[in-house]
């Protein structure tokens, strides 16, 4: 990090996408609706057969018992658990509408329950949800079946139930172990509680345990975060997701409760990122990329070594670049060369399903340029390199002509030591990984044409 100058920090202290998709979700349009989505599902069914190509499933559970001030997720704060019972009935209707289009029994190789708080569901609710999914889809042996867990909502018995239901990967939301930071973001959970749950999860035999951390929260300092990093190294989860806090109070109302003066500076955030990289690598973790670390024996690290890493709406993944069905309010899916998103409010989501319609309210049909640029951006984000020959063979383009403007813009980044430009293509340098979102942004045609970036989190 000694080579990172104040000028470089200032230059990259700008908003930018995380590129869990390209084009990014802010480019979705309302002209793409449920009829377009139904057609994409039908084409998938006709083109591959009902059981030929594996699927990923994402199920959004929006409910939380308490509000975390930093959260930008689509969530509903309530202590009335009967609301989840109603929600599950509507999820069942949505699943039935999908199977009406693409058939029963399609093979699923990846399932992720996110939120909100998926463990807001009762034990019976979790059983009901998994029963619905297993009736309609075929969960492939050896697939990745994960669930996000708020440590405050589970105990050892509940973790055992999750394993019984087929989940083999857990993601614990930790964010920070510092008590002052926890108070500032309204999420108090003792470190001892997390340590006990991780120990129970290991005893039960989950394949992989992930811990989410956030740097850039109020009252954090590089020194205080060092203490959390030390505790995480002792905890030794299989994977670590380290996210930069995106302070967008104009978009996310709960963040208005955060005192802006208590937020760390851009320089302090970069110091936390730098020290995190050092701490986790010293502890034996592989830096998978951008915001993910994994132990060398974990499937994510193995995929990185073997060049099989992918990126989707849940972040880095070992799963092939396959279709994704998003279920639940606000869920995003990808079928073929289309993206789609469900209604963002419960009332609208329920209204669509009451009418017997898929609850898609916006999306996008990708054109050829979108597909070419998606391949380029994902190559940089996942492999740290964009090679000319594979791109030319896959897309029948003259790489240097097609990306002439982009290669010209990258020359300045090469001077800054962020990329290497050679006869084989573009490579991200070790220092460039700190700014890989900024490198990828060069290839984003929409972003280059529209400089309004306030909708995104800041890169640093």
Ligand-binding annotation for 70, yes or no, is: yes
Residues 237 and 268 sit within 8 Å (Cβ to Cβ): no
- Strand pairing of 137-149 and 106-115? parallel
Query: Both tokens of residue 377?
Result: 């951006």
Cα dist. 42→53, 97, 322 in Å? Answer: 14, 12, 16
Environment class of 393 (CB within 10 Å of its CB; exposed 0-12, middle 13-18, buried 19+): exposed
Residue found by looking up tokens 């915001």 in the block = 291
DSSP state of 187: -
Residue 332 assigned to a binding site: yes
Residue 73 annotated as part of some ligand binding site:
no
CA–CA distance, 76 with 254 (Å, rounded to integer): 12
Q: How far is CA 89 from CA 125, 128, 129, 350, in A?
A: 10, 10, 9, 10
**72 marked ligand binding residue:** yes
Q: Is the CB of residue 213 less than 8 Å from the CB of residue 245?
A: no
Between CA 411 and CA 13 the distance in angstroms is 20
CA distance 287 to 300: 10
Per the annotation, does 148 bind a ligand? yes
64 in a labelled binding site: yes
Collapsed DSSP state (helix, strand, coil) of residue 110: strand
Binding site annotation covers 392? no
Sign of torsion over alpha carbons 364, 370, 371, 375: negative
Distances (CA, A) of 24 to 273, 300, 415: 24, 24, 28
C-alpha distances out from residue 262 to 175, 185, 187, 217, 247, Å: 16, 11, 16, 8, 12
115 annotated to bind ligand: yes
**Euclidean distance between CA atoms 241 and 213, whole angstroms:** 6
Coil, helix or strand for 458? Answer: strand
Cα separation, 25 vs 22, whole angstroms: 8
Check whether 212 is labelled as a binding-site residue: yes
Asked if residue 337 lies in contact with residue 365, where contact means CB atoms within 8 angstroms, the answer is yes
Known binder of ligand: residue 180? no
Pairing of strands 315-317, 310-312: antiparallel
Distance of CA 110 to the CA centre of its chain: 14
- The strand pair at 425-428 and 332-335 is best described as unpaired
**Side-chain-facing half-sphere of 177: CA atoms under 13 Å:** 20
69 annotated to a ligand binding site: no
Q: Which residues are annotated as a binding site?
A: 58, 64, 68, 70-72, 115-117, 148, 175, 187, 212, 246, 332
- The binding site for [4Fe-4S] cluster comprises 64, 68, 71
Annotated binding residues for S-adenosyl-L-methionine, as ranges? 58, 70-72, 115-117, 148, 175, 187, 212, 246, 332
């Amino acid at each position: 990090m000694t080579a990172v100058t104040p000028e470089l920090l200032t230059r990259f202290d700008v908003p930018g996408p995380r590129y869990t998709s390209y084009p990014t979700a802010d480019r979705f349009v309302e002209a793409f609706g449920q009829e377009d989505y139904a057609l994409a599902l039908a084409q998938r069914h006709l083109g591959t057969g009902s059981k030929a190509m594996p699927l990923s499933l994402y199920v959004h559970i929006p409910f939380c018992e308490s509000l975390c001030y930093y959260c930008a997720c689509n969530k509903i704060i309530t202590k009335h658990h009967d609301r989840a019972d109603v929600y599950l009935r509507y999820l069942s209707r949505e699943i039935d509408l999908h199977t009406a289009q693409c058939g029963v029994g399609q093979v699923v190789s990846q399932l992720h329950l996110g939120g909100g708080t998926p463990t807001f569901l009762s034990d019976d609710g979790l059983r009901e949800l998994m029963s619905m999914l297993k009736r309609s889809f075929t969960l492939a042996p050896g697939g990745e079946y994960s669930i996000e867990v708020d440590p405050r909502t589970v105990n050892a018995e509940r973790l055992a139930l999750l394993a019984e239901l087929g989940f083999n990967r857990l993601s614990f939301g930790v964010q920070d172990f510092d008590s002052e930071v926890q108070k500032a973001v309204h999420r108090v959970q003792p470190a001892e509680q997390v340590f006990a749950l991780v120990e129970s999860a290991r005893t039960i035999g989950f394949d992989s345990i992930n811990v989410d951390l956030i740097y850039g929260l109020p009252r954090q300092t590089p020194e205080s975060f060092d203490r959390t990093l030390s505790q995480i190294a002792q905890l030794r989860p299989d994977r670590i997701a380290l996210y930069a806090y995106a302070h967008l109070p104009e978009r996310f109302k709960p963040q208005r409760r955060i005192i802006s003066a208590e937020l760390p500076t851009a320089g302090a955030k970069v110091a936390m990122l730098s020290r995190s990289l050092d701490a986790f690598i010293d502890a034996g973790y592989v830096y998978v990329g951008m915001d993910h670390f994994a132990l060398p024996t974990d499937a994510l690290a193995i995929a990185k070594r073997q060049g099989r890493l992918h990126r989707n709406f849940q972040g880095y993944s070992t799963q092939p670049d396959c279709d994704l069905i998003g279920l639940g309010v606000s869920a995003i899916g990808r079928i073929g060369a289309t993206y789609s998103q469900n209604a963002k409010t419960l009332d609208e989501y329920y209204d669509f399903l009451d009418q017997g319609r898929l609850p898609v309210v916006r999306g996008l049909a990708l054109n050829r340029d979108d597909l070419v640029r998606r391949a380029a951006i994902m190559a940089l984000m996942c492999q740290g390199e964009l090679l000319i020959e594979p791109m030319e063979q896959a897309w029948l383009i003259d790489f240097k002509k097609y990306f002439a403007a982009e290669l010209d813009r990258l020359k300045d980044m090469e001077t800054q030591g962020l990329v290497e430009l050679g006869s084989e293509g573009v490579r991200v340098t070790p220092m460039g990984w700190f700014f890989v979102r900024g490198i990828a942004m060069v290839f984003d045609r929409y972003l280059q044409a529209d400089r309004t970036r306030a909708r995104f989190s800041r890169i640093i």
